[in-house]
Structure 1
Amino acid sequence: MTGPSHEARAARTAPPGPPRRATIRLLKQLFTDRLALMGDNAEDYGDVVRIAIGPKAMYLVNHPDLAKHVLADNAANYHKGIGLQEARRALGDGLLTSDGETWRRQRRTIQPVFRPKRIARQAAVVASEVDSLVRRLAAHDGPVEILHEMTGLTLGVLGKTLLDAELGGYDTLGHSFEAVQDQAMFEAVTLSMVPQWVPLKKQLHFRAARDDLRRIADELVERRLAKPVENGEDVLSRLIASGSGDGASRERMRDELITLLLAGHETTASTLGWAFHLVDEHPEVGERLHAEAVAVLGDRLPGHDDLRKLTYTASVVEEVMRLYPPVWLLPRVAQADDEIGGYHVPAGSDVVVVPYTLHRHPEFWTDPERFDPGRFTAAERPARYAYIPFGAGPRFCIGNSLGVMEAVFVLAMVARDLRLRKLPGYRVEPEAMLSLRVRGGLPMTVHERTAELRRAA
């Protein structure tokens, strides 16, 4: 009787990874520098890495072909994983955290809201909101907390474009979502070993935030039920029309709204924060943005057709999302045994595709740490799965077109009228939570461009 073939033995082989003696270092990175944890191990061990920390093993996937396998070709075998599982306590079974038939039903309900023609019709709303932002920034005398401003903007846009509702009165939304992210990541890195009843400050903040988000979602539903929109195309109208009105239906609406509020504002706000940081670090990019905005827009507000003309601005947004993808981690759990890159991955394993490291893979990106919007103006685009800021496969981000339009309009209109500069000596660091945000905020000073400078450009 012959033994298993070489191929069969290889398929059962575990991927390379750090030794057990590295556990203390890995734990420290897991708590304090998750980007280094992923990046260092991808650099040291290759495109499939097994990272064992305590009783858990995580499989890092860092190659376009392998990302395609997990996210698209064999997507049915991979359900949502670490971080998102913990976030379910606040988000419930919304579109971000659900799987299977529940997810498919939710996607079908909401998908029409994001049809290209409908999003195109929202361009005037987005431009008006951005115009108000520029005016607010120009009116400031001292430093401005840019991330706070971006959060307010993106929530305002989300409310008017997707919910047909005003969110300006819900000032606690941003802080509540921060508490949700903090708690979800805390539970992920502690393997949920700290009981939820322990009155830690973080957990107390989370409970208050969860209650706040549920209250806001319930209020939005009640307002729409009191004043229904005939043939409404917005998310609230579609959720109400698809429900039965019973308790389960109301809970599902709440879950969807909380998820939409988080995903719909956080990713774009994070991208814009990184964009303003990088443009400040590279003044020549700011000048090119300014020149293009003046040439394309003059003094008017942008329309949807201008997206085709603001080509350099769009390339800046793409390069920002390459270096700092708002969704930096795509966590999955294998439902059945699988083979990835010739290595065996057992059922129940945590498998993570990491856009942050994939976007820096030296095989697919020249000088990958350099900020270079020219990468996206060249005739040859990057390999499809080497660049996945919105994920890939059936769970590709449903709101990508609205987010890109919003980011392009903000960069163009701010660069046309203003310069934003970080405070001298202020250190910008990434914080890898559910999204990749600037740690501790981004205070900047606002400098208005004169009419003479605009004409000269």
Structure 2
Amino acid sequence: MTAPEAARPRSRRLPPGPTRSRTPALLASMARDRLAVMTGAALRYGDAVRLPLGPKTLFFFNHPDHAKRVLADNAANYHKGIGLVHARRALGDGLLTSEGELWRAQRKVIQPVFQPKRIARQTAAVAEEAAKLVARLRAREGTGPVDIRGEMTELTLGILGRTLLDADLSAYDSIGESFEVVQDQAIFEMMSLSAVPSWVPLPQQRRFRRARADLERIVAQLAAERAAHPSEDGDDVLSRLIEATGNERDETTRRLRMRDELVTLLLAGHETTASTLSWTFHLLDQHPLVWEKVHAEVVEVLGDRQPTTADVHRLTYTSMVIEEVMRLYPPVWILPRKAQQEDEIGGYHVPAGAEVLICPYTLHRHPEFWPAPDRFDPERFAPGRAGGRHRYSYLPFGAGPRFCVGSSLGLLEATVVTAAVVRELQLAKAPGHVLKPEPMLTLRVQGGLPMTVHTVR
């Protein structure tokens, strides 16, 4: 069968990039600072770069047209790529790593949980959890720095438990630590390309096996409790997964499907929003005039009451701040894909089997599409300012068929929590602490975010 005209390669030209002799240095740089490698490659070679990494050659594309081609126009040709494939050994075949019919079936099961009307009904639950956070933080005023990244992780896990599972995850004390270990293992698998056998008794591998067993135990308990006490409407993730796997004859397969889906959903769901909120409070501390505008808007819109869904839509400037935070520090910093058939992108040949990278972190700082790209400027997202901006120059939640299923809940959480905290508290970076981005499964703050708490007078 002849390939469609849009998909047929016309060029055999390969993108520029470092020579293969640079592979050892490049591998060392990737292990040390992946963001610097991607940023430097784009600056030196342009919007299309070929990066030789040992047995692999990465094709890094950094133009909105390239992103559109890979993620949307020819998405069927690009399956999950380097890193995520290897993370499967840690995460299993959940929505993040699966492909084909399995992915479509999983998406069909999960999608209704994120319908706009259902998410809108979660505003009260999110606001209640945000109020609890504010109370916890206020109790720490004057006691020294608080790890805001840790607080955001606890908060977002609690919110996901209530909104997606209709369950209280605070009863599982080890869940946050176990997720941390699983994420560390996923990154280890990604960086080592799964070259280290899982049976090798490294301390990290032993910790991972214990963490995975702990999460399997938690998932089994959650499923058993839901089966014994069904929810009233049955529209939460647990209920839908129990129904979807109910006809699976093999108990092991059914258990693994439940585990993979819930672990992936909870890990990706809480980690992305926790990272966004951490960067938000850091940037608000660094830009006091922006903080004042957010505070004024929240007081004007909400007064001293909890937000409703209608209120969230009126927090215009607060939403602009969140969007700008995600531009500078996109929760999903890289989108790896693997070409199933050869293709042409930006005039360059992409061989079948090539590992292709789209990097929102560098794309969001492309000077052709973002003036003064390193400056924190929420006004970029003011109503009417997006006119003429390339749709694919801003990809905080990806694009195309794989667009993040939980984006609406993530935005709701980030907006409500930011409003709740800024209305009553100011968070200030601990003196002497230097922040550094850590590109893991999400772009999080490395080593935590110590900040002091101050009540707004």
Q: TM-score range by the shorter chain?
A: over 0.9
Tell me which amino acid in the other structure corresponds to 2:384.
A
Structure 1, residues 124-156: CA drift from partner, whole Å, max 9, x if none?
A: 111011011101100113221111110111011
Query: Scaled by the length of structure 1, what TM-score is found?
Result: 0.94
After superposition, the Cα gap between the structure-2 partners of 1:13 and 1:231, relative to the gap in structure 1 and judged at 3 Å, is same
Task: Specify the alignment match of 2:437 in structure 1.
Answer: 430
The CA deviation at 1:9 is 9.6
The CA deviation at 1:178 is 2.0
Task: Specify the alignment match of 2:455 in structure 1.
Answer: 448
The structure 2 residue matched to 1:397, chosen from 388, 404, 413, is: 404
Task: Specify the alignment match of 1:324 in structure 2.
Answer: 329
Give SS of 1:361's match.
Answer: coil
Is it true that 1:172 corresponds to 2:152 in the alignment?
no
Written as runs of structure 1 = structure 2, the 5 A alignment for 1:139-158 is 139-140=139-140, 141-158=143-160
The structure 2 residue matched to 1:239, chosen from 234, 238, 241, is: 241
Written as runs of structure 1 = structure 2, the 5 A alignment for 1:33-432 is 33-140=33-140, 141-243=143-245, 244-246=247-249, 247=251, 248-381=253-386, 382-432=389-439
The CA deviation at 1:180 is 2.0
Given that 1:83 and 1:434 are in contact with CA atoms closer than 8 Å, whether structure 2 keeps it comes out as no
Given that 2:83 and 2:193 are in contact with CA atoms closer than 8 Å, whether structure 1 keeps it comes out as no
Given that 1:20 and 1:52 are in contact with CA atoms closer than 8 Å, whether structure 2 keeps it comes out as yes
Given that 2:427 and 2:454 are in contact with CA atoms closer than 8 Å, whether structure 1 keeps it comes out as yes
The CA deviation at 1:230 is 4.0
Give SS of 1:431's match.
Answer: strand
Given that 1:179 and 1:206 are in contact with CA atoms closer than 8 Å, whether structure 2 keeps it comes out as yes
Indicate the larger mover: 125-134 or 223-232: 223-232
The CA deviation at 1:245 is 4.9
Indicate the larger mover: 363-372 or 41-50: 41-50
CA distance in 1, matches of 2:45, 2:115: 42
Tell me which amino acid in the other structure corresponds to 1:412.
A
The CA deviation at 1:22 is 2.3
CA distance in 2, matches of 1:30, 1:330: 16
The CA deviation at 1:378 is 4.8
Task: Specify the alignment match of 1:455 in structure 2.
Answer: none
Given that 1:87 and 1:180 are in contact with CA atoms closer than 8 Å, whether structure 2 keeps it comes out as no
After superposition, the Cα gap between the structure-2 partners of 1:373 and 1:242, relative to the gap in structure 1 and judged at 3 Å, is same
CA distance in 2, matches of 1:136, 1:115: 31
The CA deviation at 1:97 is 0.7
Task: Specify the alignment match of 2:5 in structure 1.
Answer: none
RMSD over aligned Cα, in angstroms?
Answer: 1.4
Given that 2:425 and 2:454 are in contact with CA atoms closer than 8 Å, whether structure 1 keeps it comes out as yes
Structure 1, residues 389-421: CA drift from partner, whole Å, max 9, x if none?
A: 000000100111111011001111111100001
Given that 1:80 and 1:331 are in contact with CA atoms closer than 8 Å, whether structure 2 keeps it comes out as yes
Aligned-residue sequence identity (percent) comes to 63
Task: Specify the alignment match of 1:454 in structure 2.
Answer: none
Structure 1, residues 326-359: CA drift from partner, whole Å, max 9, x if none?
A: 1001111111111111111111111111000000
Query: Scaled by the length of structure 2, what TM-score is found?
Result: 0.94
Is it true that 1:17 corresponds to 2:17 in the alignment?
yes
